[in-house]
Amino acid sequence: MNKTKLFCSILGLGMLTIGSAQIKQDSVKVEKLDEVVLSDSRFALKRENSGKVITKITSKTLEKLQGQSVAEIIGRTAGVEINGVRSNAGQNLSYLVRGGRNRQVLIMIDGVQVTDPSQIANDYDLRFLNADQVESIEILKGASSTLYGTGAATAVINIKLKEASKKAFSLNLRSTLGTNQSADEDAYALEDFRNSVTVNGSLGKFNYLASFGHQFTDGLSAIANGNESDAFNSNNGNLKLGYRFSDSFRLNTYASYDNYKADFDDSFGMMDAENVSISKQYRIGVSPEFKYNNGSITVNAAYNDVERDIESSFPSMFNAQSVIVDAFNRYNFSDKFYTVLGLNYQDNQMESFSIPFGETEFSQAIDPETAQFTITDPYANVVYVSDFGLNVNAGLRLNNHSEYGSHLVYSLNPSYKFDVDFGYIKGLASYSTAFITPSLFQLFEPSFGNADLEPEENQTIEVGAEVSVKGKATFSLVYFNRNEENFIDFVDTGDFVFQYRNIEKSFTASGVEFVAQVKLSKDIDINLNATYTTLDEDLSLRIPEIKINTRLDYSLSEQIQTSLSYQYNDQREDVFFNNTTFENEVVTLQSYGLLDFNVNYIILQDKLSLFANVTNIFNEDYQELFGFSTRGRGVNLGFNLKL
């Protein structure tokens, strides 16, 4: 074991030892409300009655992480590695959850699935989101296709945007200035600017929220040996309107516009280039909810339009549209028996344009009349909460796809809670199946597409335990094992002719996740998570075997809160194309550890606060992606004003 691994182990064990000792000795009484989770059942269940270990990132936690992107914040969760967040701001992101890939992670915003049908993996781009607009995040790991459909194979990331204030008028301003440079630079020039403004309020039965965010980041080249910086420029606009017609019926609507422009370099030759990627997203949606005795009916309907332009040596344009309608009925037969019956409908369509070899004008490469499919999924889920400790969560879903027919998925998730003097002990287990729909690009791209593709299938087993010490600590340990079948790969069929095909071989990813949340005293909290992941060689690209996150929160006073966080990533394997041998070669990226510090100073309670962050304090020089730049030490300052 190298020194960094040894340090991480000692640090983690030391924190747990201190936490255990402090739990026994500290006599400070802490009043804490029971944590409620939604993602695993769509009901507001107490955490102790949930058969999953769900990570909930609250608004309070988000306040401590001001100045970070949504992807950076999510990447501190056990079992989650988001690759690309430590590189140039415009770097593409990879969502590596429990050894999975982008196509196995489903992202939801305010209860609505969000995807980009023009992407190879059909995944949603988190670079569209502004962290200042987010209220909370729930991360549900494991196969969850029974409740959420295609793509929910390794995780569901449920992002809740901020709601309107109860006051008639409220104004929130936030601004951050920071540096952005590699480890071998020492200029510390201001190159990162993030600003947001939100106006919201409630007028009788009507509520409104309008927000705008902007980010401009420069100063860092996309490739490690680049001499020219590559800028990232994004804008986010969001409008939410709601009206409560009665105590039983309310209607919420929203519209959003997000865009970014990212400069990037030639990754084939690893040279500076004047390449630009421009992406625009338009979203509109409506969500009526009707409540009746012991139940409610909710409809989440949304239209999403994405436009992407790539200006490079291989220029291309993509347009994609999707319609999603998720209607479900929640019914409580009693305080012990909850049911969800729903129907999910999706219509996805895309087109693309490219310039053929030898020509100068764009021509259509993928026809939207062909590149279109619909999905119609009826589903059912039941939750039983007994008065003797047994809890059961089970579900079924029938996926009906216009291209490959019907596909059944199911889940069974029992748990048992033992009440003890100091809190509770909970054992949990689950077996669940999931599917990943082939993307429109994989099905219909004229050169590489394959209309005969079958959906990828996953089976996931989880076994674990959770221990809660009332108002003091929560510990959890979970083992997971996921088997993948019909894996879709980009296959060389001979003579450098490639095509997307299902692989007959099955793959396995397994591991252990440990999470500890300890309240040492009224003013000190410790959060620790560690993940060990073992994978078949074909799945191991850029995924660390060991990853550890720790955060120590300390309130110096009612006005000053500080956080010290550390992240350790084990060595990983990456692949690059060798221009000399014309072959892909495997390279090992060395392990690294990052120490960050954050401080928040409240000048006027609920009015004005200042915050500052120092990231990568020791200016560690490492590689996140082979051949691409990585951020060194960073400093940012900001303020948050509420009126």
Q: What's the mean pLDDT when you consider all of the chain?
A: 89
Contact of 210 with 200, CB cutoff 8 Å: yes
Q: Is pLDDT at 494 greater than 80 in this prediction?
A: no
Q: What is the pLDDT of residue 175?
A: 95
Domains in the chain: boundaries: 3-642
Q: Is pLDDT at 42 greater than 70 in this prediction?
A: yes
Q: Is pLDDT at 314 greater than 70 in this prediction?
A: yes
Taking the alpha carbons of 123, 129, 133, 138 in that order, is the dihedral positive or negative? positive
Give the residue, 160 or 21, on which the prediction is more confident.
Answer: 160
Q: Is pLDDT at 53 greater than 80 in this prediction?
A: no
Q: Predicted confidence band at 5 (pLDDT cuts at 50, 70, 90)?
A: very low
Q: What is the mean pLDDT of residues 496-518?
A: 91
Q: What is the mean pLDDT of residues 517-541?
A: 90
Q: Is pLDDT at 416 greater than 90 in this prediction?
A: yes
Q: What is the mean pLDDT of residues 64-88?
A: 90
Taking the alpha carbons of 144, 146, 148, 150 in that order, is the dihedral positive or negative? positive
List pLDDT tens digits, range 191-246: 999 999 999 999 999 999 999 999 999 999 999 988 999 999 999 999 999 999 99
Q: Write the secondary structure of 66-120 as one string of H (helix), E (strand) and C (coil).
A: CCCCHHHHHCCCCCEEEECCCCCCCCCCEEEECCCCHHHEEEEECCEEECCCCCC
Q: Is pLDDT at 547 greater than 50 in this prediction?
A: yes
Q: Is pLDDT at 80 greater than 50 in this prediction?
A: yes
Dihedral angle computed from the Cα positions of residues 51, 54, 60 and 64, in that order, rounded to the nearest 10 degrees: 150
Q: DSSP 3-state assignment of 17?
A: helix
Q: What is the pLDDT of residue 582?
A: 66
Find all residues with CB under 8 Å of 473, minimum gap 6, and list them.
19, 23, 467, 516, 517, 518, 519
Q: What is the mean pLDDT of residues 316-322?
A: 95
Segment (H or E) for 459? strand 456-469
Which amino acid is located at 275 in the chain? N
The CATH code that applies to domain 3-642 is 2.40.170.20
Q: What is the mean pLDDT of residues 459-487?
A: 94
Distance of CA 414 to the CA centre of its chain: 26
Q: Predicted confidence band at 460 (pLDDT cuts at 50, 70, 90)?
A: very high
Nearest residue to 219 (alpha-carbon basis) of 506, 635, 589: 635
Which amino acid is located at 277 in the chain? S
Nearest residue to 488 (alpha-carbon basis) of 544, 432, 440, 543: 440
pTM: 0.90
What tokens does 21 get? 């000792």
Nearest residue to 51 (alpha-carbon basis) of 62, 35, 40, 66: 40
If phi > 0 it is left, if psi is from -120 to 50 it is alpha, else beta; for residue 481 that is beta
CA–CA gap between residue 329 and residue 298 (Å, rounded): 6
Q: Predicted confidence band at 15 (pLDDT cuts at 50, 70, 90)?
A: very low
Contact of 179 with 636, CB cutoff 8 Å: yes
Q: Is pLDDT at 26 greater than 60 in this prediction?
A: no
Strand partners, 467: 425, 475
Give the residue, 581 or 329, on which the prediction is more confident.
Answer: 329
Q: Is pLDDT at 358 greater than 50 in this prediction?
A: yes
